[in-house]
Amino acid sequence: MSIGSRRPTGLRGRLVITFVLVAVTASALVAGIGYQLVRRALLDRAETTALADVRDVLRRTSLPIGTTDLLWPQSVVTESDLNDLAGALGGPDRQVVLRYGDQVRLSSGARFGLDDVPATLRRPAGSRMAYQRRSINGEPWGLIATDVYRQTPTGIVRRTGMSVFVFVSLKEEDGVLSRLRTALAQASGITLAIALTVALVSARSVLLPVRRLGEAARALGAGRLDTRLPVHGRDELAGLTATFNDTASALERTVSELRALEAMSRRFVADVSHELRTPLTAMTAVTDMLTEEAERLPPDAGQAVEIVVREIDRLRVLVEHLIEASRLDSGTAVLVRENVDVGTALADALEIRGWTGRIRLDVPADLSFWLDPRRFDVIVANLMGNALHHGAPPVTVTARVLRSGLEVRVRDRGKGIPREAMPHVFERFYKAGAGRARSEGSGLGLAIAKANAELHGGTIRVEARDPGTEFVVWIPRP
């Protein structure tokens, strides 16, 4: 699976993720800034306190520290003096290293020596104190380094030759910061949970109208044109809902008008077709008489009779097709299935229409199937007539029963149907090519054949062959 396919594409997912990211980012920023402020204040306070304590101890010391001069001509600094000063500077969380000339003294219990002092702090730092935070053996320490100076009675500040290095433990401050980090992490987790909950609730409240609009749109697409939604509030979603209701109302009115017009059109076609039957019957009887007398008429009159007979026959076929189409459109057409011998039904269709010698049948003996014989006759007659009139011999019809149903193939060897006309051959009154505008067909035969196949639950498809065209009828088992 690609990375792009795992990205959330739903509006709900994007809203939740965006809300959570904003909440987590804001929480992280607040927690980070708060932590840094507290850390700086805590460490600065520890540094200030430590420096003040060391400075105060050094200020209060009364040791006769100094080089031999007029001030302390006989002063001697003993080991006891150094130990007392180290003890005064030390404490439970402090370790002291004193350097006086070549002498080095450590406070009681000290684990650090002069080697643990960075070289940058061993050099004389002047009268100011230097402070540096370091991690020693995985523990945080603050290191104070300073040279000790004394002021002579004459007001001259002179160096005593003593350097003081105080290691101040920051373990307590580090513990406070560790607990603060834990508390902030827990608060961030709680914030994330709250943000996720609020995001889900907010997304649901925001997307619920959208989801309802989607369901209503699907219902509208399924034909339930009376679908409407309640309008709540005055926000954008309420406006969208009101627009949907107005659109649905307009669509319902339009569809109702179209359905009424379609019903009127169907009724008009059906009425006209039925009304034409009576005069057609009389005209057919007259043309039969004229046909019998055509041979004894003058050539011009005989030719006129042939034209009249041919056009009346076309009109009769057109009326029959219109009546059949109106029945299919109105939904009054029903199936009357029975067990039909397919070979016999195809042979009868050829014999009735006088096509017996013009079409070759390839049907297994005793091939039977449950279908409506009259509508099956309409299907195959239209396909075979189309192959004879618009194709070229030899025309073959094959039939077989598959596991899925009955398959009938009608194949001709003509020029074939143009590729651009293939998608339209089953449309009503469609005729491929300008030369077919006055053909014998009504332009309804293939549409009626397909409608009857679909009435059986089947289909008809057309396929190009070399040469010719093949129509394939499939009717499923009942």
With contact defined as beta carbons under 8 Å apart, do 124 and 109 qualify? Answer: no
pLDDT in tens, 434-464: 444 445 556 778 888 888 898 889 999 999 8
Domains and their CATH numbers in the chain: 1-60+172-224 (no CATH), 63-169 (no CATH), 258-328 (1.10.287.130), 334-476 (3.30.565.10)
Quote the CA–CA distance of 377 and 346 in Å, as a whole number.
7
pLDDT interval class at 476 (50, 70, 90): very high
Most confident of 33-42, 53-62, 99-108, 194-203: 33-42
> CB under 8 Å to 36, separation ≥6 — which residues?
none
Of the candidates 57, 59, 42, the residue with the CA atom closest to the CA atom of residue 142: 42
With contact defined as beta carbons under 8 Å apart, do 373 and 345 qualify? Answer: yes
Residue 323 is encoded by which pair of tokens?
Answer: 């009546």
> CB under 8 Å to 125, separation ≥6 — which residues?
145, 146, 147
Residue 193 is encoded by which pair of tokens?
Answer: 């949970």
pTM higher than the cut 0.85? no
Which residue bears the tokens 């940058």?
120
Could you tell me how far CA 18 lies from the centroid of its own chain?
A: 16
**Preceding peptide of 64 cis, ω within 30°:** no
3-state secondary structure at position 457: coil
Concatenated DSSP letters of 250-318 = HHHHHHHHHHHHHHHHHHHHHHHHHHHHHHHHHHHHHHHHHHHHGGGS-HHHHHHHHHHHHHHHHHHHH
DSSP character for 458?
-
Mean of the per-residue pLDDT values of the chain: 80
Whether 331 has a pLDDT exceeding 80, the answer reads: no
pLDDT in tens, 376-423: 998 999 899 889 988 888 999 999 999 899 999 999 998 888 888 888
pLDDT in tens, 22-54: 888 888 888 889 889 998 998 889 888 888 888
- φ/ψ of 110, rounded to 5, equals -70, 135
**Preceding peptide of 467 cis, ω within 30°:** yes
